[in-house]
Amino acid sequence: MKVKNITAKIQVYTIEECDSLKKKLIEAAKEATTRAYAPYSKFHVGAALLLENGEIVTGSNQENAAYPTTLCAERTAIFYANSQYPDLAVKSIAIAAFADGDFTEESCAPCGSCRQVISEVENRFGKPVSVIMYGKKHIYEVSSIQDLLPLSFGKENLPEN
């Protein structure tokens, strides 16, 4: 038997270390938390996408009394961007979360379903999507979703694709 080790490269930095574009994207994600509809969890998530034409598109989590029908901020933003601009690749996604009167100390990481959707976006446009996970204590960034979703399932796993 062989053992395969998988490593992920995660950059760790603070807001002070960001260039102006990254600051702008993170600010857009933070601002998007104010538009979350989260009466059940009271966990307000915002996502901001940087498209390849420089445009920033945001989304927030949209909850439902039938809990499983809730949609995360990341997927709200991605599905909106892909339906409005089907030919524009996504370069980056920044994520922030606000709960109990403040932004979270820890970085807000995307859930498994959102990782799968971001992976599809990478495959669709053939370009990596960097994921910026904001936290007051530190910001985590990966240069591709593959760092957060190793051995991902994609079209290559389907027959005749």
Catalytic machinery residues:
74
Binding residue count for ligand THU, defined by CB under 6 A: 13
Of residues 33 through 92, those in contact with ligand THU by CB under 6 A are 38, 41, 43, 45, 61, 63, 70, 72-74
CB-wise, 73 or 81, nearer to ligand THU? 73
CB-wise, 14 or 64, nearer to ligand THU? 64
Closest alpha carbon to 122 in 148, 82, 149, 90: 90
Smallest distance, ligand THU to C-beta of residue 10, A: 16
Closest alpha carbon to 90 in 99, 80, 82, 100: 82
The CA angle 88-55-35, to the nearest 5 degrees, is 110
Identity at 150, one-letter amino acid code:
P
In this structure, the number of other CB atoms found within 10 A of the CB of residue 47 comes to 31
If one asks whether residue 132 binds ligand THU (CB under 6 A), the answer comes out as: no
The CA angle 156-160-144, to the nearest 5 degrees, is 20
CB-wise, 52 or 111, nearer to ligand THU? 111
Q: Which residues sit at the interface with ligand THU, rule CB under 6 A?
A: 38, 41, 43, 45, 61, 63, 70, 72-74, 110-111, 114
